[in-house]
Chain A
Amino acid sequence: MFPFVLEKAGSAEAAIAAAAAGARYIAGGTTLVDLMRDEVERPERLVDINALPLSDIRADGEDLVIGALARMSDVATHPEVGRLQPIIAESLIEGASPQLRNMASMGGNLLQRCRCPYFRMLDAACNKRDPGSGCAAIDGLNAGNAILGTSDHCVATHPSDVAVALVALGATMRVRGSDGERSFAVEDLFRLPGDTPHLEHTLTPGELILDIRVPGGPYGRRARYLKVRDRASYEFALVSAAVALDVEEGLIRSSRIAVGGVGTKPWRLRACETALAGKPADRSSFEAAARLATEGVRPLSHNHYKAELLPRTIVRALEMAGDVA
């Protein structure tokens, strides 16, 4: 581990000032400390933001507002989350392990770095870690890598589960920087790798995530998160799907579909949503819509199976959501 200076921020302003001067935020530390131990991350200054009052979880009308420092485990078990958006709890419980969920913050979850094995090995080429060094995964062991949104420079998936649910539900986030506050869709937080895979998000230097707002809507209990993986816990998704259905008299009025484990960012599938509109909420509609999910996929040498698994996962998730409806 490289030596670093750790300071504690007593206010958002102090934290933002420190970050604007080059410090990195640290909350749960479940990604950052791990990567610092491997020297993948080498921050010289860390600013601990855990003392900031950003842990609230509350209902605002039909909206759900989650503070950026709320822990995954606290959000997952919060009664308002269960009442308004149970899919958020479902997707959180599917993520990481209980120990990690007790530490990891919601803001940190969105900003967690990728799980591509080559990213974590200093002696392997990785444009995300070391821009311009190349991508060892493209011609390497890439079974876990992405098939959507990839570039010739990076094929890493975004690892978050809850981000997939947030993107499906059209959640927004509020951030504050030296120039004040702004809000935008969680979906717009994430960047495609393109030829700058080391740039993963759209925050400007020093911007601090304050909270996440999940809008109320017609979905609520008709939303489900399905994570397909090789073991039952503590394992990233091969493919996951967050789906939400608004069904009336057996017909789908509207739907939301986002998928994880396949994209370089949480991947909203608007074409599938459109295809479901007005269709009966049954398996044949789900299958027809899910087929559209694989348009434009670019499988790698070891992950063709993801293109097969992706529509199956969507269909199954839609059936799960439909059963509740």
Chain B
Amino acid sequence: MTVRFIGSPHTRVDGPRKVTGNARYAADFNQAGQAYAVIVSATVGLGRITEMDGASIERMPGVVAVITHHNAEKLPYLPHKAVIDPAEGERLHVLQDDQVRFYGQPVAVVVADTLDDAERAAAALRISYDARRPIVDHAGDEVKAIVPDAATRPGARTLADRSRGEADAAVANAAVKVDENYDIARENHNPMEPHATIASWNGERLTLWSKSQYLVNEQAEIAAIFGLPLENVEVVCPFIGGAFGTSLRTWPHVTLAALAARHIRRPVKLVLTRKQMFFTTGHRPRTLQRIALGATPEGALAGMVHEGTGETSRYEQFMEALTNVTDYLYSCPNVRTQYRLAPLDTSTPNHMRGPGEASGIFAIESAMDELSYKLGIDPIELRRRNEPQLDEAENKPFSSRSLMQCYELGAERFGWTQRTPEPRSMRDGRLLIGMGTATATYPAFHAPASARVRLLADGTAEVEAAASDMGPGTYTSMSQVAAEFLGLPLERVRFRLGRSDYPQTPSHGGSWTMASVGSAIRAACLEVQAQAARRAAADAGSPLSGASVDDLEWSEGLLRRRGDTSPGISYHDIVVRAGVPIEAGGSAQRDPKVAEQYSMHAFGAVFAEVAVDPDVGTIAVRRIVGAYGIGRVVNPLLARSQCTGGMIGGMGMALMERTALDPRDGRPVNAHMADYLMPVNLDIPELEAHFVDEVDPHVNPLGVKGLGEIALVGTAPAIGNAVFHATGKRVRTLPIRIEDMLTA
């Protein structure tokens, strides 16, 4: 087949709708007669509600209902867990009791005819608490780390304890050592679009227009919470204004919107405030890590120890892949990793772009950089000397691994040879210039997915899957895949997503959307072609009548006998003659045998240049260059956009983002876009993303590895390493701030 669509830099098919305001987001689906719900959030960090007089505000203008634990419907909360939910613990049950488990927990919902009325009344609701001081400081003395239950089970993706060789002894006896601790701040996702749900009941059937990265799970979760048959719940979300993982789980506000709508027997709209986005919609957990590396004088790693602890809530054990990368990143005979959790009086964290890997790689890649200086070996050369021939933890080959090609391409594009190795050796006028690099990696995941293709009489094709598009360009890239395998022009393919009643897909996260849904679409396209061919062969009036389907082949959307040079017949011809659309489903999952055989990961190399003002300590990132080996690139334009977005996220992680909790009551004091810093345009420099040619026949039929996560992973250590190179000051706490530079 002529490759025309996969690999082409097509602009976004949904771009015109977005820029003209015709893309409808969850909160845009206003329903006739809808009321507005506002969540009242707890103002203490731990304790119980002693008094809450909902009746006192019920007579305020426009108020329809005040729902508290006194009058809320008791919900079944049937057991339900998806892959994105913590394996251990039980999700927060809202308005079911008087307990306050963390600051900002929803304790009441006020519903009114207008948003203003609801806000006004919600602000007037007086609540008394019996409050205790919460424990929210992960690094505090009172914190007792626990072994995550799920991490002790065989086959867990992140193991509590994993070891090969004698890592501690190897580090202790090594000629050259690095042994340091790292502290990465809690971050909140802060997408542009706030969480929003509009809930509408029709008898026992519920429709949710709700921001979600995992529609079929939102359907299943709400069905379980309300004790409904799955088919009674429908979730619709055609557009997402950024998410970064925060909309993977179904959070309490979705339940509250549905609960309120049932309570008042009207559709209810509930949109979280920016401040509330810091309370119960997940966060990247603060992590504390220790890395100990030992090496020979020639730079061969002799031992690696990686211990990490992530914060979690008291009611759920949220795990992420904090220590995973250390197992397979480099060649080393003695490696020990340890993963623990610190339960705190906070809400449960969740996955945030590059979950686990982004934090773990900051520690390990900062330590590798530090080791390179102790050894006097160029950082890239150090990695080259430790490049493994296989995944030494799993003892299996990589399906493909292009790390050194990434370093070579990235170094060339970045101009690494201009770098002088000594810290503080490069200047631009009075500014200290630093160049740093770091490895990026993320697993090439795959999950079972399905899709449907329908060939219509007008010669177009409709493709459907319950997928999401939070910004990477799923609408576009999936259209390209379908166009590719159907052999139709892109404008004759319509890809639809964002409905839970479309064919099931996994969560829109983990960089597995293209691998999983794309493969399913390919399968559905091939299946619909087979069906169409059978129709043509069985159709007495068709020029291909009576042909063996094995003798037929599709090319450029036309069906011919093999070797035949006739014009062939089109989908249009076949569908018109059939009189009904031809529809086929397809699904895809990774062959377990292949999965058993290979270690599958994407790799990349990130380069950053910074300028530090030696007087006042300001840090400016001057440029970032990333080179990635991610298998096949479906759309280079979208892929570069994803990478630059990820780099900006990495800049935020390195230099700005930090949710600050007041230890007295656990409140996030900077729950505001003016106070929670993220890079603004003026901070963002020239960003370059390059892709090495990588063919991986094992990962999935499309040969794609996924890009969303790895695009963020690696940026923070590259910047931290550049800051060290500029100043000679090693900062092991993120974000790196001006005050860290003052003691340089």
- Interface residues of chain A, those whose CB is within 8 Å of chain B, are 1-3, 39, 97, 115, 117-118, 120-124, 136, 139-141, 226, 228-235, 238-239, 305, 308-309, 312-313, 315-316
Contacts and interface: CB of A to CB of B under 8 A. Distances in A.
Nearest to B652: A231
B37 to A, nearest CB: 17
Interface string B43-73: 1000000000000000000000000000000
Given A123-B43, A140-B662, A230-B738, A316 B615 contact: yes
Given A141-B662, A228-B616, A234-B674, A309 B742 contact: yes
A140 B739 contact: no
A233 B742 contact: no
Interface in B247-293: none
A309 B616 CA distance: 6
A231 B669 contact: no
B680 interface: yes
B738 A238 contact: yes
Contacts of A230: 655-656, 677, 737-738
A117 B683 contact: no
Interface string B108-122: 000000001001100
B620 interface: yes
Contacts of B7: none
A309 B678 CA distance: 22
B680 A234 contact: yes
B667 interface: yes
Contacts of A118: 669
A303 to B, nearest CB: 9
Contacts of A305: 738-739, 742
Interface string B667-679: 1011010110111
Interface in B641-688: 655-656, 660, 662, 664, 667, 669-670, 672, 674-675, 677-683
Indicate the member of A124, A136, A230 with the most B CB atoms within 10 Å.
Answer: A230
Contacts of B742: 305, 308-309, 312
Contacts of B738: 228-230, 238, 305, 309
Nearest to B618: A228
Indicate the member of B656, B678, B739 with the most A CB atoms within 10 Å.
Answer: B739
The binding surface of chain B is classed by DSSP as loop
Contacts of B510: none
B510 to A, nearest CB: 30
A141 B660 contact: yes
A194 to B, nearest CB: 25
B119 A231 contact: no
Contacts of A316: 613, 615-616
A141 B660 CA distance: 8
Interface in B718-743: 737-739, 742
A316 B429 CA distance: 14
19 contacts: A1-B120, A3-B120, A121-B669, A122-B123, A140-B662, A141-B669, A229-B618, A229-B738, A230-B737, A231-B656, A233-B680, A235-B677, A238-B738, A305-B738, A308-B742, A309-B616, A309-B739, A312-B615, A312-B617
Interface of B: 43, 116, 119-120, 123, 613, 615-618, 620, 655-656, 660, 662, 664, 667, 669-670, 672, 674-675, 677-683, 737-739, 742
Indicate the member of A3, A141, A239 with the most B CB atoms within 10 Å.
Answer: A141
A118 B669 CA distance: 7
Nearest to A144: B675
Contacts of A229: 618, 738
B664 A140 contact: yes
A139 B664 CA distance: 9
Contacts of A234: 674, 680
B131 to A, nearest CB: 11
Contact of B620 (A97, A232, A308): A232
Contact of A313 (B119, B616, B662, B675): B616
Indicate the member of B615, B618, B680 with the most A CB atoms within 10 Å.
Answer: B615
Contact of B123 (A39, A139, A233, A309): A39
Nearest to A142: B669
Contact of A231 (B120, B123, B617, B683): B683
Nearest to A116: B669
Given A115-B674, A141-B669, A230-B677, 10 more contacts: A121-B669, A123-B43, A124-B667, A136-B662, A228-B618, A229-B738, A233-B683, A235-B674, A239-B616, A313-B615
A312 B739 CA distance: 12
Contacts of B620: 232
B50 to A, nearest CB: 16
Contacts of B737: 230
Nearest to A283: B615
B680 A232 contact: yes
Given A305-B739, A305-B742, A140 B669 contact: yes
Nearest to B664: A140
A121 B120 contact: no
Nearest to B735: A230
A312 B616 contact: yes
Indicate the member of A1, A231, A235, A313 with the most B CB atoms within 10 Å.
Answer: A231
A231 B680 contact: yes
Contacts of B680: 97, 231-234
Given A141-B660, A228-B738, A309-B742, A233 B616 contact: no
Nearest to A230: B677
Contacts of A309: 616-617, 738-739, 742
